[in-house]
Amino acid sequence: MLFTNATIITVNAKREIIQNGSILVRGNKIADIGKTQLLLEKYPDETTSDLTGRIIIPGLVNAHMHTAQTLLRGSADDLELVSWLCERIWPLQGNFTPEDGYAAARLSIAEMLKSGTTCFLESMFADRYGFDGLCRAVDEAGVRGCLGKIVMDVGTYASDPKWAMHPGLVENRETSLLGALNMHEKWNDKADGRIKVWFGARTPGGVSEGLYKEMTALSREKNIPITMHCAEAPADRTFFASKNHTPMSYCSSVNLLGPQTVLVHMVHLDETDIAKLAETGTHVVHCPSSNTKLASGICKVPELLTAGVNVTLGTDGAPCNNTCDMMSEMRLAGILHKVAKMDPTMVPAETVLELATVNGAKALGLADSIGSLDIGKKADFVVLDMRAVHLQPWFNPVSAVVYSATGRDVEHVVVDGKLVVENGKLLTMDEEAVWQEAERRSKEVVARAGLTNEVGPRWPVV
């Protein structure tokens, strides 16, 4: 297929924007890209799709996602992090079945695809959710998934016994670490290479130092990347101080830092932490919606970028964001730091789009194949229909994408050369069946957890 007459934001090495541009897809790769007139002359017999009035961007990379939690959207609003976890999210997740996990994964993936995410990093999929079901959902939907299987052996938050996990979520070394190795052997590189299996380590305090060291050694031996929440809340900083460490000195002591590690949130850092991240090539995921909604704080993105740290973007889970829309996440990432620094030049739109595309691809070890629109890379891209009153006029296409568009403006999505969303409709899943099953199962989970009265309206219902 030859996609013609669009404005193409390539995010290539030269950061070129091609006006009246075309992309030729053959197999699962971009075979050619350039001006429409030239490509029509080169490929006169190619089937074409006219995209006049549209903008094409690389597929968005959601570098931090909890696919199971989408089933719990809106169940824990307006709570601070530890209460959010211990009183709502963990008890709910502790009552999941593998069938619930599969339904939640399908709901998450459907929403991500429809809003322009073509690749995501699942942070911590618990054994009880059914990892096989997650992989099956990725395979069936046609999305690209880096899937973190949880690694843990301590059932509290930040080693504080009063912040205990629900018993249904507690795993040991055999279930978590060895289970992750089994899933890596079974699923890594499956679904035409779209599935990658990662270690999804729990936050420091949720993993013993011995298990961290065993996991990091296996990571290097078997080339299995690691993702982990870190320095998200003040309680995390207190935990590190109790060990006579800063966040990054602790991570260094258990061999977590390096280019195969993606650390998430990273709100409570000092200058030495930032320098250590840059020195080791460790990646950072910024989750502005989650951090603001849970009042965790503001990640020092300008300082991290200035230091040379690779920063990318993630939505986090639906109970602390309420949406899996990376387009909306980009907008907040572009405006949050302006007011935090009282400087409107902070984190411009071009930087934000880099966070969500090329930087995400780099963090996931996929920079050679996705993240920008280049000849020879995988055909992962998103078409935004700009022919709408809320998007007109626009002068800078990057600004229009970051500050004006939302996921609802996504018209087409191509992953691995295949059209998976067309005219805003999913082609790989029955969308109505997905949300109807999710609606039913979400209520069943809440009922099993005994939280039906707690998650409902706070105002009287008549």
**Which pLDDT score, from 0 to 100, does residue 102 have?**
98
Nearest to 24 by CA among 3, 51, 44, 40: 3
**Which pLDDT score, from 0 to 100, does residue 158 have?**
79
Separation of CA 297 from chain center: 19
In the 8-state DSSP scheme, what is residue 85?
A: I
Q: Which two tokens stand for residue 63?
A: 């570098």
Q: Tokens 């999710």 label which residue?
A: 438
CB atoms within 10 A of CB 181: 18
Separation of CA 8 from chain center: 23
Question: In CATH, which of 3.30.1490.100, 3.40.50.970, 3.10.20.30, 3.20.20.140 is domain 60-363?
Answer: 3.20.20.140
- What secondary structure does DSSP assign to 88-137, as a single string? IIHHHHTT--HHHHHHHHHHHHHHHHHTTEEEEEEEEE-GGG-HHHHHHH
**Which pLDDT score, from 0 to 100, does residue 431 have?**
97
Q: What is the amino acid identity at position 398?
A: V
Q: What is the 3-state secondary structure (H, E, C) of 176-243?
A: HHHHHHHHHHHHCCCCCCCEEEEEEECCCCCCCHHHHHHHHHHHHHHCCCEEEEECCCHHHHHHHHHC
**Which pLDDT score, from 0 to 100, does residue 81 have?**
80
**Which pLDDT score, from 0 to 100, does residue 159 have?**
75
First to last CA, the chain: 55
pLDDT along the chain (462 residues), means of 10: 98 98 98 98 97 98 98 94 88 97 98 98 98 98 98 88 90 98 98 98 96 98 98 93 97 98 98 98 98 96 98 97 97 98 98 98 98 98 98 98 98 98 98 98 97 93 94
